[in-house]
Structure 1
Amino acid sequence: MNLLHGDCLEILKTLDAGSQDLVVTSPPYNLGINYNSFKDTSPRKEYLKWCRSWVAEVRRVLADDGSFFLNVGAAPANPLMPHQLILELADGEEPLFILQNTFHWVKSISIETRSGERISAGHFKPINSKRFVNDCHEYVFHLTKNGEVPLDRRAAGVPYQDKSNIARWGHTGGADLRCRGNTWFIPYDTIMSRDKERPHPATFPIALVEQCVKLHGKGSATRLLDPFLGIGTSAIAAHRQRITAFTGIELDELYLRTARERLAEEVARFAGELPLG
Protein backbone atom coordinates (compact mmCIF):
# COMPACT_ATOMS: atom_id res chain seq x y z
CA MET A 1 0.00 0.00 0.00
CA ASN A 2 1.17 3.47 -0.88
CA LEU A 3 0.21 6.30 1.50
CA LEU A 4 1.50 9.60 0.16
CA HIS A 5 1.84 13.04 1.75
CA GLY A 6 1.04 16.10 -0.31
CA ASP A 7 -1.48 18.01 -2.39
CA CYS A 8 -3.61 15.53 -4.34
CA LEU A 9 -3.70 17.77 -7.41
CA GLU A 10 0.09 17.65 -7.65
CA ILE A 11 0.52 13.98 -6.73
CA LEU A 12 -2.23 12.83 -9.10
CA LYS A 13 -0.21 14.34 -11.95
CA THR A 14 2.62 11.90 -11.16
CA LEU A 15 0.42 8.80 -11.54
CA ASP A 16 0.25 6.99 -14.87
CA ALA A 17 -2.78 7.41 -17.11
CA GLY A 18 -5.26 4.55 -16.78
CA SER A 19 -3.43 3.14 -13.76
CA GLN A 20 -6.44 2.93 -11.40
CA ASP A 21 -9.54 0.74 -11.53
CA LEU A 22 -11.51 2.35 -8.74
CA VAL A 23 -11.53 5.71 -6.99
CA VAL A 24 -13.47 6.13 -3.75
CA THR A 25 -13.13 9.44 -1.97
CA SER A 26 -14.78 12.20 0.00
CA PRO A 27 -13.28 15.65 -0.61
CA PRO A 28 -13.79 18.71 1.59
CA TYR A 29 -17.40 19.83 1.18
CA ASN A 30 -16.73 23.59 1.36
CA LEU A 31 -19.20 23.88 4.23
CA GLY A 32 -16.89 25.44 6.79
CA ILE A 33 -15.76 22.17 8.36
CA ASN A 34 -12.85 22.64 10.75
CA TYR A 35 -10.08 20.61 9.10
CA ASN A 36 -6.60 20.65 10.56
CA SER A 37 -4.78 22.05 7.49
CA PHE A 38 -7.42 23.00 4.94
CA LYS A 39 -9.58 26.11 4.67
CA ASP A 40 -13.07 24.82 3.91
CA THR A 41 -14.65 28.19 3.10
CA SER A 42 -13.76 29.07 -0.49
CA PRO A 43 -16.14 31.09 -2.68
CA ARG A 44 -18.44 28.63 -4.45
CA LYS A 45 -17.11 29.27 -7.97
CA GLU A 46 -13.54 28.90 -6.76
CA TYR A 47 -14.38 25.64 -5.00
CA LEU A 48 -16.09 24.18 -8.07
CA LYS A 49 -13.14 25.19 -10.25
CA TRP A 50 -10.74 23.44 -7.84
CA CYS A 51 -12.89 20.31 -7.84
CA ARG A 52 -12.94 20.25 -11.61
CA SER A 53 -9.12 20.43 -11.63
CA TRP A 54 -8.50 17.42 -9.39
CA VAL A 55 -11.39 15.44 -10.89
CA ALA A 56 -9.85 15.97 -14.35
CA GLU A 57 -6.73 14.25 -13.01
CA VAL A 58 -8.86 11.46 -11.56
CA ARG A 59 -10.35 10.94 -15.00
CA ARG A 60 -6.89 10.75 -16.54
CA VAL A 61 -5.59 8.11 -14.12
CA LEU A 62 -8.80 6.04 -14.19
CA ALA A 63 -9.04 3.04 -16.51
CA ASP A 64 -11.67 3.22 -19.23
CA ASP A 65 -13.78 0.64 -17.40
CA GLY A 66 -13.10 2.22 -14.01
CA SER A 67 -15.53 3.61 -11.46
CA PHE A 68 -15.30 6.82 -9.46
CA PHE A 69 -17.42 6.89 -6.30
CA LEU A 70 -17.65 10.47 -5.00
CA ASN A 71 -19.11 10.98 -1.52
CA VAL A 72 -20.48 14.47 -0.93
CA GLY A 73 -22.60 15.84 1.88
CA ALA A 74 -24.58 19.03 2.34
CA ALA A 75 -25.69 21.33 5.12
CA PRO A 76 -29.36 22.08 5.82
CA ALA A 77 -28.73 25.76 5.13
CA ASN A 78 -26.68 24.97 2.03
CA PRO A 79 -28.46 22.07 0.28
CA LEU A 80 -27.48 22.84 -3.32
CA MET A 81 -23.75 22.17 -3.06
CA PRO A 82 -23.77 18.41 -3.97
CA HIS A 83 -26.04 19.13 -6.95
CA GLN A 84 -23.95 22.06 -8.14
CA LEU A 85 -20.83 19.93 -7.89
CA ILE A 86 -22.22 17.01 -9.87
CA LEU A 87 -23.52 19.39 -12.54
CA GLU A 88 -20.04 20.90 -12.79
CA LEU A 89 -18.49 17.46 -13.29
CA ALA A 90 -21.09 15.60 -15.35
CA ASP A 91 -23.14 18.16 -17.26
CA GLY A 92 -22.67 21.06 -19.63
CA GLU A 93 -20.60 21.37 -22.78
CA GLU A 94 -17.48 19.59 -21.46
CA PRO A 95 -18.47 16.98 -18.86
CA LEU A 96 -15.59 15.08 -17.27
CA PHE A 97 -17.70 12.05 -16.39
CA ILE A 98 -21.10 10.49 -16.89
CA LEU A 99 -23.25 10.03 -13.81
CA GLN A 100 -24.06 6.31 -13.97
CA ASN A 101 -25.68 5.84 -10.53
CA THR A 102 -26.62 7.96 -7.54
CA PHE A 103 -26.52 6.28 -4.13
CA HIS A 104 -27.96 7.63 -0.92
CA TRP A 105 -25.80 6.87 2.11
CA VAL A 106 -28.26 6.73 4.99
CA LYS A 107 -26.57 7.26 8.35
CA SER A 108 -29.66 7.03 10.53
CA ILE A 109 -33.18 5.79 9.86
CA SER A 110 -36.43 5.04 11.65
CA ILE A 111 -38.74 2.40 10.22
CA GLU A 112 -41.91 0.58 11.17
CA THR A 113 -41.91 -3.18 10.64
CA ARG A 114 -44.82 -5.22 9.32
CA SER A 115 -45.66 -6.15 12.88
CA GLY A 116 -45.88 -2.49 13.86
CA GLU A 117 -42.60 -2.30 15.73
CA ARG A 118 -40.75 0.99 15.36
CA ILE A 119 -36.98 0.76 15.03
CA SER A 120 -34.45 3.59 15.00
CA ALA A 121 -30.88 2.76 14.04
CA GLY A 122 -27.70 4.60 13.20
CA HIS A 123 -26.09 7.88 14.18
CA PHE A 124 -26.65 11.47 13.14
CA LYS A 125 -25.61 14.94 14.22
CA PRO A 126 -28.69 16.61 15.74
CA ILE A 127 -29.39 20.24 14.93
CA ASN A 128 -31.40 22.74 16.96
CA SER A 129 -33.55 24.53 14.42
CA LYS A 130 -37.10 25.67 13.78
CA ARG A 131 -36.49 25.59 10.02
CA PHE A 132 -34.58 22.38 9.28
CA VAL A 133 -34.83 18.73 10.17
CA ASN A 134 -31.85 16.58 11.13
CA ASP A 135 -29.71 15.67 8.11
CA CYS A 136 -29.31 11.88 8.14
CA HIS A 137 -27.91 11.12 4.70
CA GLU A 138 -25.24 11.99 2.13
CA TYR A 139 -24.76 11.32 -1.58
CA VAL A 140 -22.41 8.87 -3.24
CA PHE A 141 -22.21 9.67 -6.95
CA HIS A 142 -21.02 6.83 -9.20
CA LEU A 143 -19.18 8.39 -12.13
CA THR A 144 -17.75 6.59 -15.16
CA LYS A 145 -16.19 7.63 -18.46
CA ASN A 146 -18.91 6.15 -20.68
CA GLY A 147 -21.88 5.31 -18.47
CA GLU A 148 -21.65 1.63 -19.43
CA VAL A 149 -19.35 0.12 -16.79
CA PRO A 150 -20.73 -3.27 -15.65
CA LEU A 151 -21.17 -3.79 -11.92
CA ASP A 152 -21.33 -6.90 -9.77
CA ARG A 153 -24.69 -5.99 -8.27
CA ARG A 154 -25.14 -9.12 -6.19
CA ALA A 155 -21.63 -9.04 -4.76
CA ALA A 156 -22.86 -6.04 -2.81
CA GLY A 157 -26.34 -7.47 -2.43
CA VAL A 158 -28.66 -8.55 0.37
CA PRO A 159 -30.83 -11.66 0.99
CA TYR A 160 -34.45 -11.57 -0.11
CA GLN A 161 -36.96 -10.57 2.54
CA ASP A 162 -39.62 -12.75 0.86
CA LYS A 163 -37.92 -16.04 -0.01
CA SER A 164 -40.69 -16.96 -2.46
CA ASN A 165 -39.21 -14.37 -4.82
CA ILE A 166 -36.14 -16.56 -5.31
CA ALA A 167 -38.10 -19.11 -7.34
CA ARG A 168 -40.65 -16.64 -8.77
CA TRP A 169 -38.07 -14.44 -10.50
CA GLY A 170 -35.93 -16.20 -13.08
CA HIS A 171 -33.05 -13.74 -12.90
CA THR A 172 -32.17 -14.90 -9.37
CA GLY A 173 -30.70 -18.19 -10.65
CA GLY A 174 -31.90 -19.73 -7.41
CA ALA A 175 -29.61 -17.55 -5.30
CA ASP A 176 -30.90 -15.83 -2.16
CA LEU A 177 -29.21 -12.55 -2.99
CA ARG A 178 -30.62 -9.47 -4.67
CA CYS A 179 -29.29 -6.11 -5.74
CA ARG A 180 -29.23 -3.81 -2.71
CA GLY A 181 -30.37 -0.85 -4.77
CA ASN A 182 -29.27 2.74 -4.44
CA THR A 183 -30.13 3.28 -0.76
CA TRP A 184 -27.33 2.19 1.56
CA PHE A 185 -27.91 2.19 5.30
CA ILE A 186 -24.36 2.23 6.67
CA PRO A 187 -24.07 3.58 10.23
CA TYR A 188 -20.90 4.77 11.85
CA ASP A 189 -19.23 2.46 14.35
CA THR A 190 -19.85 3.52 17.93
CA ILE A 191 -16.72 5.08 19.43
CA MET A 192 -15.73 6.02 22.98
CA SER A 193 -13.43 8.96 22.19
CA ARG A 194 -13.56 11.04 19.01
CA ASP A 195 -10.15 12.60 19.68
CA LYS A 196 -8.49 9.18 19.96
CA GLU A 197 -10.52 7.04 17.57
CA ARG A 198 -11.70 9.50 14.92
CA PRO A 199 -9.52 12.66 15.03
CA HIS A 200 -11.00 13.99 11.79
CA PRO A 201 -14.15 16.11 11.40
CA ALA A 202 -15.56 14.31 8.34
CA THR A 203 -15.01 10.59 7.87
CA PHE A 204 -17.00 7.81 6.22
CA PRO A 205 -17.42 4.23 7.49
CA ILE A 206 -15.08 1.48 6.36
CA ALA A 207 -18.12 -0.46 5.15
CA LEU A 208 -19.02 2.27 2.67
CA VAL A 209 -15.71 1.85 0.85
CA GLU A 210 -16.04 -1.94 0.99
CA GLN A 211 -19.49 -1.63 -0.60
CA CYS A 212 -17.99 0.29 -3.52
CA VAL A 213 -15.21 -2.27 -3.93
CA LYS A 214 -17.68 -5.16 -3.99
CA LEU A 215 -19.99 -3.39 -6.41
CA HIS A 216 -17.21 -2.61 -8.87
CA GLY A 217 -16.48 -6.32 -8.96
CA LYS A 218 -12.73 -6.70 -9.44
CA GLY A 219 -12.06 -8.06 -5.95
CA SER A 220 -8.53 -8.21 -4.59
CA ALA A 221 -7.11 -7.33 -8.03
CA THR A 222 -8.59 -3.84 -7.77
CA ARG A 223 -6.22 -0.90 -8.10
CA LEU A 224 -7.84 1.48 -5.60
CA LEU A 225 -7.17 5.20 -5.17
CA ASP A 226 -8.33 7.71 -2.55
CA PRO A 227 -7.06 11.27 -3.25
CA PHE A 228 -8.34 12.51 0.15
CA LEU A 229 -7.17 9.76 2.48
CA GLY A 230 -7.92 11.51 5.76
CA ILE A 231 -7.25 9.12 8.64
CA GLY A 232 -7.06 6.08 6.39
CA THR A 233 -10.58 4.62 6.23
CA SER A 234 -10.22 3.56 2.60
CA ALA A 235 -6.81 2.01 3.28
CA ILE A 236 -8.32 -0.16 6.02
CA ALA A 237 -11.18 -1.12 3.70
CA ALA A 238 -8.65 -2.07 1.03
CA HIS A 239 -6.80 -4.30 3.49
CA ARG A 240 -10.03 -6.01 4.52
CA GLN A 241 -10.84 -6.66 0.87
CA ARG A 242 -7.32 -8.11 0.32
CA ILE A 243 -6.37 -5.24 -2.00
CA THR A 244 -2.65 -4.53 -2.13
CA ALA A 245 -2.61 -2.03 -5.02
CA PHE A 246 -3.88 0.88 -2.96
CA THR A 247 -2.82 4.53 -3.21
CA GLY A 248 -3.92 7.16 -0.70
CA ILE A 249 -3.03 10.85 -0.77
CA GLU A 250 -3.30 13.17 2.23
CA LEU A 251 -2.33 16.82 2.66
CA ASP A 252 -2.29 16.93 6.46
CA GLU A 253 0.63 15.33 8.29
CA LEU A 254 -1.38 14.56 11.44
CA TYR A 255 -4.14 12.83 9.52
CA LEU A 256 -1.60 10.87 7.46
CA ARG A 257 0.26 9.78 10.58
CA THR A 258 -3.02 8.64 12.10
CA ALA A 259 -3.85 6.76 8.89
CA ARG A 260 -0.55 4.91 8.99
CA GLU A 261 -1.06 4.04 12.66
CA ARG A 262 -4.60 2.79 12.04
CA LEU A 263 -3.49 0.70 9.08
CA ALA A 264 -0.61 -0.80 11.07
CA GLU A 265 -3.06 -1.73 13.85
CA GLU A 266 -5.42 -3.26 11.30
CA VAL A 267 -2.63 -5.34 9.74
CA ALA A 268 -1.45 -6.47 13.18
CA ARG A 269 -5.00 -7.38 14.22
CA PHE A 270 -5.46 -9.38 11.03
CA ALA A 271 -2.20 -11.20 11.73
CA GLY A 272 -3.42 -12.06 15.22
CA GLU A 273 -1.01 -9.77 17.01
CA LEU A 274 -3.80 -7.58 18.45
CA PRO A 275 -7.21 -8.57 19.87
CA LEU A 276 -10.36 -7.88 17.85
CA GLY A 277 -12.52 -4.94 18.84
Structure 2
Amino acid sequence: MPRSGIPVDQLLQGDCVEAMASLPDSCVSLAFADPPFNIGYEYDIYQDARKADEYLDWSLQWGRQVVRLLKPTGTFWLAIGDEFAAELKVLFHRELKLHLRSWVIWYYTFGVHCARKFARSHAHLFYFVKDPRQFTFHDDAVRVPSARQLIYADRRANPKGRLPDDTWILRPQDVPEGFQPASDTWYIPRVCGTFKERAGWHGCQMPEQILGRIIRACSSEGDLVLDPFAGSGTTLAAARKLGRRYLGFELSPQYADRAEARLASIHPGDPLEGSDEPFVTPRRVRVSPDGR
Protein backbone atom coordinates (compact mmCIF):
# COMPACT_ATOMS: atom_id res chain seq x y z
CA MET A 1 0.00 0.00 0.00
CA PRO A 2 1.73 3.22 -1.18
CA ARG A 3 1.33 6.82 -0.10
CA SER A 4 -2.20 8.15 0.45
CA GLY A 5 -3.52 4.63 0.96
CA ILE A 6 -3.88 3.91 -2.78
CA PRO A 7 -3.77 0.17 -3.46
CA VAL A 8 -0.94 -0.71 -5.82
CA ASP A 9 0.32 -3.89 -7.43
CA GLN A 10 -3.14 -5.32 -6.96
CA LEU A 11 -5.99 -6.69 -9.02
CA LEU A 12 -9.26 -6.07 -7.21
CA GLN A 13 -12.47 -7.91 -8.04
CA GLY A 14 -15.54 -5.72 -8.38
CA ASP A 15 -17.32 -3.08 -10.41
CA CYS A 16 -14.77 -0.60 -11.74
CA VAL A 17 -17.06 2.45 -11.53
CA GLU A 18 -17.70 1.90 -7.82
CA ALA A 19 -14.08 0.96 -7.13
CA MET A 20 -12.57 3.94 -8.93
CA ALA A 21 -14.94 6.29 -7.10
CA SER A 22 -13.17 5.39 -3.84
CA LEU A 23 -9.76 6.54 -5.10
CA PRO A 24 -8.38 10.08 -4.74
CA ASP A 25 -8.06 12.52 -7.63
CA SER A 26 -4.92 12.67 -9.77
CA CYS A 27 -3.24 9.46 -8.62
CA VAL A 28 -2.70 7.62 -11.94
CA SER A 29 0.01 8.32 -14.53
CA LEU A 30 -1.27 6.04 -17.27
CA ALA A 31 -4.63 4.33 -17.80
CA PHE A 32 -5.41 1.73 -20.43
CA ALA A 33 -8.96 0.53 -21.04
CA ASP A 34 -10.10 -2.33 -23.25
CA PRO A 35 -13.80 -2.33 -22.30
CA PRO A 36 -16.49 -4.65 -23.65
CA PHE A 37 -17.31 -3.57 -27.20
CA ASN A 38 -21.11 -4.10 -26.84
CA ILE A 39 -21.17 -6.60 -29.69
CA GLY A 40 -22.82 -9.52 -27.89
CA TYR A 41 -19.63 -11.28 -26.81
CA GLU A 42 -20.31 -14.01 -24.25
CA TYR A 43 -18.53 -13.04 -21.03
CA ASP A 44 -19.16 -15.15 -17.97
CA ILE A 45 -21.24 -12.55 -16.09
CA TYR A 46 -21.20 -9.23 -18.00
CA GLN A 47 -24.02 -8.66 -20.51
CA ASP A 48 -22.41 -7.35 -23.69
CA ALA A 49 -25.58 -6.43 -25.57
CA ARG A 50 -26.93 -3.19 -24.12
CA LYS A 51 -28.98 -0.61 -25.93
CA ALA A 52 -26.68 1.96 -27.51
CA ASP A 53 -27.72 4.82 -25.23
CA GLU A 54 -27.28 2.64 -22.16
CA TYR A 55 -23.83 1.54 -23.28
CA LEU A 56 -22.72 5.12 -23.97
CA ASP A 57 -24.09 6.31 -20.61
CA TRP A 58 -22.14 3.54 -18.86
CA SER A 59 -19.03 4.47 -20.84
CA LEU A 60 -19.43 8.06 -19.67
CA GLN A 61 -19.67 6.86 -16.05
CA TRP A 62 -16.44 4.91 -16.06
CA GLY A 63 -14.78 7.45 -18.34
CA ARG A 64 -15.42 10.26 -15.86
CA GLN A 65 -13.72 8.25 -13.15
CA VAL A 66 -10.68 7.48 -15.32
CA VAL A 67 -10.24 11.14 -16.23
CA ARG A 68 -10.62 12.20 -12.59
CA LEU A 69 -7.93 9.73 -11.52
CA LEU A 70 -5.41 10.87 -14.12
CA LYS A 71 -2.66 13.20 -12.98
CA PRO A 72 -2.52 16.60 -14.74
CA THR A 73 0.21 15.11 -16.94
CA GLY A 74 -1.60 11.77 -17.28
CA THR A 75 -2.26 9.66 -20.37
CA PHE A 76 -5.23 7.51 -21.34
CA TRP A 77 -5.35 4.83 -24.04
CA LEU A 78 -8.65 3.31 -25.18
CA ALA A 79 -9.01 0.14 -27.25
CA ILE A 80 -12.38 -0.13 -29.00
CA GLY A 81 -14.03 -1.74 -32.01
CA ASP A 82 -15.72 -0.17 -35.01
CA GLU A 83 -19.24 -0.09 -33.60
CA PHE A 84 -18.62 2.63 -31.00
CA ALA A 85 -15.22 4.06 -31.96
CA ALA A 86 -16.64 7.34 -33.29
CA GLU A 87 -18.98 7.89 -30.33
CA LEU A 88 -16.31 7.16 -27.72
CA LYS A 89 -13.76 9.36 -29.46
CA VAL A 90 -16.24 12.25 -29.21
CA LEU A 91 -17.15 11.34 -25.63
CA PHE A 92 -13.59 11.45 -24.34
CA HIS A 93 -12.51 14.39 -26.49
CA ARG A 94 -15.54 16.68 -26.40
CA GLU A 95 -17.36 15.73 -23.20
CA LEU A 96 -14.48 14.67 -20.94
CA LYS A 97 -12.02 17.23 -22.38
CA LEU A 98 -9.10 14.92 -23.12
CA HIS A 99 -6.82 15.76 -26.03
CA LEU A 100 -6.34 13.21 -28.81
CA ARG A 101 -2.67 12.81 -29.81
CA SER A 102 -3.02 9.79 -32.09
CA TRP A 103 -5.70 7.54 -33.53
CA VAL A 104 -3.76 4.31 -33.93
CA ILE A 105 -4.96 1.38 -36.01
CA TRP A 106 -3.88 -2.00 -34.69
CA TYR A 107 -3.87 -4.49 -37.54
CA TYR A 108 -3.67 -8.21 -36.87
CA THR A 109 -3.92 -11.48 -38.71
CA PHE A 110 -6.37 -14.20 -37.64
CA GLY A 111 -9.15 -11.59 -37.67
CA VAL A 112 -12.70 -12.28 -36.57
CA HIS A 113 -14.51 -14.26 -39.28
CA CYS A 114 -17.70 -12.66 -40.56
CA ALA A 115 -20.22 -14.56 -42.68
CA ARG A 116 -21.74 -11.64 -44.59
CA LYS A 117 -19.15 -8.85 -44.52
CA PHE A 118 -15.38 -8.41 -44.69
CA ALA A 119 -13.51 -10.16 -41.89
CA ARG A 120 -12.44 -7.82 -39.12
CA SER A 121 -8.68 -7.53 -38.70
CA HIS A 122 -8.19 -4.30 -36.78
CA ALA A 123 -9.04 -2.38 -33.63
CA HIS A 124 -8.85 1.31 -32.77
CA LEU A 125 -6.41 2.60 -30.15
CA PHE A 126 -7.09 6.17 -29.06
CA TYR A 127 -4.18 7.96 -27.39
CA PHE A 128 -5.38 10.82 -25.18
CA VAL A 129 -3.60 13.14 -22.79
CA LYS A 130 -5.03 15.44 -20.14
CA ASP A 131 -2.75 18.37 -20.96
CA PRO A 132 -1.55 18.76 -24.58
CA ARG A 133 1.54 20.64 -23.43
CA GLN A 134 2.69 18.47 -20.50
CA PHE A 135 2.68 14.69 -20.71
CA THR A 136 5.04 11.73 -20.57
CA PHE A 137 6.33 10.42 -23.89
CA HIS A 138 9.61 8.48 -24.03
CA ASP A 139 10.29 8.51 -27.74
CA ASP A 140 13.59 6.63 -27.52
CA ALA A 141 11.85 3.70 -25.80
CA VAL A 142 9.74 2.85 -28.86
CA ARG A 143 11.85 3.82 -31.87
CA VAL A 144 12.11 1.48 -34.86
CA PRO A 145 14.67 1.37 -37.69
CA SER A 146 13.89 3.86 -40.44
CA ALA A 147 13.79 3.22 -44.17
CA ARG A 148 16.91 5.37 -44.50
CA GLN A 149 18.72 2.94 -42.23
CA LEU A 150 17.29 -0.35 -43.53
CA ILE A 151 17.06 0.31 -47.25
CA TYR A 152 19.10 3.31 -48.31
CA ALA A 153 22.06 3.28 -45.89
CA ASP A 154 21.62 7.04 -45.76
CA ARG A 155 24.19 8.76 -43.57
CA ARG A 156 21.58 11.37 -42.67
CA ALA A 157 19.52 8.73 -40.86
CA ASN A 158 19.09 9.14 -37.14
CA PRO A 159 21.06 6.21 -35.66
CA LYS A 160 18.36 5.89 -32.99
CA GLY A 161 15.74 5.14 -35.64
CA ARG A 162 12.35 6.79 -35.93
CA LEU A 163 9.04 6.76 -34.11
CA PRO A 164 6.40 4.31 -35.33
CA ASP A 165 3.52 5.69 -37.33
CA ASP A 166 -0.02 5.37 -36.08
CA THR A 167 -1.00 2.16 -37.88
CA TRP A 168 0.47 -0.75 -35.97
CA ILE A 169 1.04 -4.14 -37.59
CA LEU A 170 2.29 -7.17 -35.76
CA ARG A 171 2.70 -9.64 -38.65
CA PRO A 172 4.06 -7.56 -41.56
CA GLN A 173 5.67 -10.65 -43.07
CA ASP A 174 2.19 -11.49 -44.36
CA VAL A 175 2.19 -8.30 -46.44
CA PRO A 176 5.90 -7.48 -46.76
CA GLU A 177 5.44 -4.92 -49.51
CA GLY A 178 2.42 -3.23 -47.94
CA PHE A 179 3.39 -2.70 -44.32
CA GLN A 180 6.70 -1.79 -42.77
CA PRO A 181 7.55 -1.75 -39.03
CA ALA A 182 7.57 2.05 -39.01
CA SER A 183 4.28 2.49 -40.87
CA ASP A 184 1.17 4.06 -39.39
CA THR A 185 -0.54 0.71 -38.91
CA TRP A 186 0.72 -1.23 -35.92
CA TYR A 187 1.01 -4.87 -36.78
CA ILE A 188 0.85 -7.35 -33.89
CA PRO A 189 -1.01 -10.66 -34.15
CA ARG A 190 -3.90 -11.42 -31.88
CA VAL A 191 -3.15 -13.88 -29.09
CA CYS A 192 -4.37 -17.00 -30.84
CA GLY A 193 -5.06 -20.41 -29.37
CA THR A 194 -1.70 -21.91 -30.35
CA PHE A 195 0.42 -19.07 -28.96
CA LYS A 196 2.46 -19.70 -25.83
CA GLU A 197 1.16 -16.37 -24.50
CA ARG A 198 -2.45 -17.56 -24.62
CA ALA A 199 -4.05 -17.82 -21.18
CA GLY A 200 -6.78 -20.05 -22.57
CA TRP A 201 -9.68 -18.83 -20.43
CA HIS A 202 -10.35 -15.32 -21.76
CA GLY A 203 -11.33 -14.81 -25.39
CA CYS A 204 -10.34 -11.12 -25.61
CA GLN A 205 -6.69 -11.30 -24.53
CA MET A 206 -4.49 -8.39 -25.63
CA PRO A 207 -0.88 -9.08 -26.71
CA GLU A 208 1.77 -8.00 -24.22
CA GLN A 209 3.74 -6.31 -27.00
CA ILE A 210 0.90 -3.81 -27.59
CA LEU A 211 0.84 -2.89 -23.91
CA GLY A 212 4.63 -2.88 -23.78
CA ARG A 213 4.85 -0.19 -26.47
CA ILE A 214 2.21 1.94 -24.72
CA ILE A 215 3.68 1.55 -21.23
CA ARG A 216 7.26 2.22 -22.34
CA ALA A 217 6.27 5.33 -24.26
CA CYS A 218 3.74 6.88 -21.90
CA SER A 219 4.95 6.10 -18.38
CA SER A 220 8.15 5.97 -16.37
CA GLU A 221 9.45 3.31 -14.01
CA GLY A 222 7.56 3.44 -10.72
CA ASP A 223 4.50 5.15 -12.23
CA LEU A 224 1.05 3.81 -11.42
CA VAL A 225 -0.71 2.16 -14.38
CA LEU A 226 -4.48 1.60 -14.17
CA ASP A 227 -6.66 -0.87 -16.05
CA PRO A 228 -10.37 -0.71 -15.13
CA PHE A 229 -11.18 -3.82 -17.22
CA ALA A 230 -8.32 -6.12 -16.31
CA GLY A 231 -9.69 -9.23 -18.03
CA SER A 232 -6.83 -11.68 -18.45
CA GLY A 233 -4.44 -9.27 -16.72
CA THR A 234 -2.25 -8.34 -19.70
CA THR A 235 -1.91 -4.63 -18.84
CA LEU A 236 -0.93 -5.46 -15.28
CA ALA A 237 1.46 -8.21 -16.39
CA ALA A 238 3.25 -5.89 -18.82
CA ALA A 239 3.40 -3.12 -16.22
CA ARG A 240 4.91 -5.48 -13.66
CA LYS A 241 7.53 -6.73 -16.11
CA LEU A 242 8.47 -3.16 -17.05
CA GLY A 243 8.93 -1.93 -13.49
CA ARG A 244 5.68 0.02 -13.12
CA ARG A 245 3.20 -0.10 -10.27
CA TYR A 246 -0.22 -1.30 -11.31
CA LEU A 247 -3.85 -1.38 -10.25
CA GLY A 248 -6.63 -3.24 -12.00
CA PHE A 249 -10.31 -4.00 -11.52
CA GLU A 250 -12.20 -7.00 -12.86
CA LEU A 251 -15.93 -7.65 -12.51
CA SER A 252 -15.70 -11.44 -12.91
CA PRO A 253 -14.46 -13.36 -9.84
CA GLN A 254 -13.32 -16.19 -12.12
CA TYR A 255 -11.29 -13.93 -14.41
CA ALA A 256 -9.86 -12.06 -11.43
CA ASP A 257 -8.66 -15.26 -9.76
CA ARG A 258 -6.96 -16.50 -12.92
CA ALA A 259 -5.38 -13.14 -13.68
CA GLU A 260 -4.05 -13.06 -10.10
CA ALA A 261 -2.43 -16.44 -10.67
CA ARG A 262 -0.86 -15.12 -13.86
CA LEU A 263 0.55 -12.09 -12.05
CA ALA A 264 1.92 -14.25 -9.25
CA SER A 265 4.13 -16.05 -11.77
CA ILE A 266 5.69 -12.81 -13.06
CA HIS A 267 8.68 -10.89 -11.77
CA PRO A 268 9.85 -7.38 -12.62
CA GLY A 269 12.33 -7.57 -15.48
CA ASP A 270 10.80 -10.67 -17.07
CA PRO A 271 10.63 -10.35 -20.88
CA LEU A 272 7.34 -9.58 -22.53
CA GLU A 273 5.63 -12.45 -24.31
CA GLY A 274 5.63 -12.40 -28.10
CA SER A 275 8.25 -11.00 -30.42
CA ASP A 276 9.28 -7.35 -30.30
CA GLU A 277 10.54 -7.77 -33.87
CA PRO A 278 7.47 -7.71 -36.12
CA PHE A 279 9.02 -9.89 -38.80
CA VAL A 280 9.53 -12.74 -36.32
CA THR A 281 6.67 -15.10 -35.61
CA PRO A 282 5.67 -15.21 -31.91
CA ARG A 283 6.41 -18.34 -29.92
CA ARG A 284 3.74 -20.98 -30.14
CA VAL A 285 3.02 -24.32 -28.56
CA ARG A 286 1.85 -27.41 -30.34
CA VAL A 287 -1.82 -28.15 -29.72
CA SER A 288 -3.06 -31.73 -30.01
CA PRO A 289 -6.36 -32.49 -31.78
CA ASP A 290 -8.19 -32.74 -28.46
CA GLY A 291 -7.04 -29.21 -27.56
CA ARG A 292 -4.60 -30.18 -24.78
For this structure pair, what is the TM-score category when the shorter chain's length is used for normalisation? Answer: 0.7 to 0.9
Query: Are residue 139 (structure 1) and residue 124 (structure 2) matched?
Result: yes
> Is this contact kept in 1: 2:143–2:160, CA < 8 A?
no
C-alpha deviation, 1:54, in angstroms = 0.8
Letter in 2 for 1:168: R
The equivalent of 1:156 in structure 2 is: 142
The equivalent of 1:209 in structure 2 is: 211
> Is this contact kept in 1: 2:241–2:268, CA < 8 A?
no
Between Structure 1 and Structure 2, how many residues are aligned?
A: 243
> Is this contact kept in 2: 1:154–1:180, CA < 8 A?
no
> Structure 1 residues 257 and 269 mapped into 2: Cα distance closer, same or farther (>3 Å)?
farther
Which stretches in structure 2 are left out of the alignment for 5+ residues?
1-8, 168-185, 272-284, 286-292
Compute the TM-score of the two structures, normalised by the length of structure 2: 0.76
Letter in 2 for 1:23: A
Letter in 1 for 2:250: E
- The worse-fitting range, judged by mean Cα deviation, of 229-238 and 139-148 is 139-148
> Is this contact kept in 2: 1:200–1:231, CA < 8 A?
yes
> Structure 1 residues 127 and 13 mapped into 2: Cα distance closer, same or farther (>3 Å)?
same
CA–CA separation in structure 2 for the residues paired with 1:191 and 1:177: 34
SS in 2 for 1:230: coil
The equivalent of 1:39 in structure 2 is: 47
> Structure 1 residues 50 and 165 mapped into 2: Cα distance closer, same or farther (>3 Å)?
farther
CA–CA separation in structure 2 for the residues paired with 1:83 and 1:7: 25
The equivalent of 2:256 in structure 1 is: 256
Which stretches in structure 1 are left out of the alignment for 5+ residues?
109-122, 272-276
> Is this contact kept in 2: 1:56–1:96, CA < 8 A?
no
Query: Are residue 86 (structure 1) and residue 93 (structure 2) matched?
Result: no
SS in 2 for 1:63: strand
C-alpha deviation, 1:167, in angstroms = 3.2
> Structure 1 residues 155 and 260 mapped into 2: Cα distance closer, same or farther (>3 Å)?
same
- Note the aligned Cα RMSD (angstroms): 2.5
CA–CA separation in structure 1 for the residues paired with 2:202 and 2:252: 11
C-alpha deviation, 1:151, in angstroms = 1.8
> Structure 1 residues 68 and 268 mapped into 2: Cα distance closer, same or farther (>3 Å)?
closer
Query: Are residue 52 (structure 1) and residue 60 (structure 2) matched?
Result: yes
CA–CA separation in structure 1 for the residues paired with 2:103 and 2:224: 22
> Structure 1 vs Structure 2: percent identity of aligned residues?
25
